[in-house]
Structure 1
Amino acid sequence: MESEELMKLYIELQRLARQMHRFAYKAMHEGNHYRGAQSRLLTVVAENDGITQRELAEILDVRPSSLTAMVGKMEQFELIKRKQDEKDQRVMHIYITDKGKEIEVKSKDDIQKLADLLFENLSEEEIKNMLAIIEKLSHTFNSYDIGDLQFGFHGYHGYHECHRFHGYHHGIEDNF
């Protein structure tokens, strides 16, 4: 495949991710619901009550420090509770509370509504194919160590400078 086509695909995936994030953020905040990461955390804990923080961080693909902050906030709202492991005091287990279960069910319903809207124009076969492709792409990312890769830009500002130079900024990508 031509590199121009690959770049266009990459840009369209980025655009879709931003649109999904904006749409979900708006929908969740209008109803005063919990954000995506918090909602996902509740679902994982509900499905794995007593999960360790380390396991949870791995499943959610977040840094342990970010998870600790998120868990702390959710514990303050009495959605989850933490308990130290009886054998190893360094290990924390996370449990969902009754209040957390109620929020998790509501969040799951809301996410299902968003998914139904997003994918309503796709056939079952297209959804299965898309899922297989996304899982394959995710596996590819997981197989790389970002530190081993060399890019021509550094940090947030370098990213935007690079894209501005190549014409992928401020809607110019629409003209491919």
Structure 2
Amino acid sequence: MVQKTIDYQIKSTWHSIFRMYNQVAAKYGTSQAVGYFLLTIDKEGTPATSIAPLMGMEATGMSRIIKSLEDKKLIYRKQDEKDKRMVRIFLTPEGVEKRKIAKKVVEGFNELILEEIPQSKLTVFFEVMESINKTVEKYKKEN
């Protein structure tokens, strides 16, 4: 029964992707989470407060992650020049290199999916995922 539920299929597939990304990332001395974080950082810097929502996380755990990536010399913080209340996160040169690797891996995996799955099926997939997200929001409001 459990394996036939929609949420099980989504979770199972995500875990497979997660493990694959971690396996590849380990070859470069990093993790899927670090790669994903680095991909959220713009060249102009990204406000620290906007990173958690971009990653689908709560803000509470973000400070620890930012500190860890600073310690690894992948990112640094800098006060925004226009709005002194805002802190922006920037990539160090090593962070830029790790980001390039992460981007290459993600793009390569997506290219493989595009080769393996016809566009017509992907179009339906994206429509279904959008509908599921809307249903999740509806369910949260009702329960």
Coarse TM-score class (shorter-chain normalised) = 0.7 to 0.9
Confirm or deny: 8 A CA contact 1:83 1:92 kept in the other structure: yes
Q: CA offset at residue 142 of structure 1?
A: 4.4
Match of 1:93, SS? strand
Q: Which residue of 1 aligns with 2:51?
A: 56
Gaps of 5+ in 2: none
Of 9, 19, 28, the residue aligned with 2:6 is 9
Of 40, 52, 55, the residue aligned with 1:44 is 40
Gaps of 5+ in 1: 150-176
Separation of aligned partners in 2, 1:21 and 1:41: 14
Question: What percent identity do the matched residue pairs reach?
Answer: 16
Mapping for residues 1-176 of structure 1, pairs under 5 Å: 7-29=4-26, 31-46=27-42, 49-85=44-80, 87-89=83-85, 91-118=86-113, 120-142=115-137, 145=140, 149=143
Q: CA offset at residue 123 of structure 1?
A: 0.5
Separation of aligned partners in 1, 2:57 and 2:11: 19
Confirm or deny: 8 A CA contact 1:24 1:114 kept in the other structure: no
Confirm or deny: 8 A CA contact 1:80 1:94 kept in the other structure: yes
Q: CA offset at residue 28 of structure 1?
A: 2.0
Q: CA offset at residue 119 of structure 1?
A: 5.1
> Whose Rg is larger?
1
Name the stretch that deviates more: 36-45 or 8-17: 8-17
Q: CA offset at residue 64 of structure 1?
A: 1.2
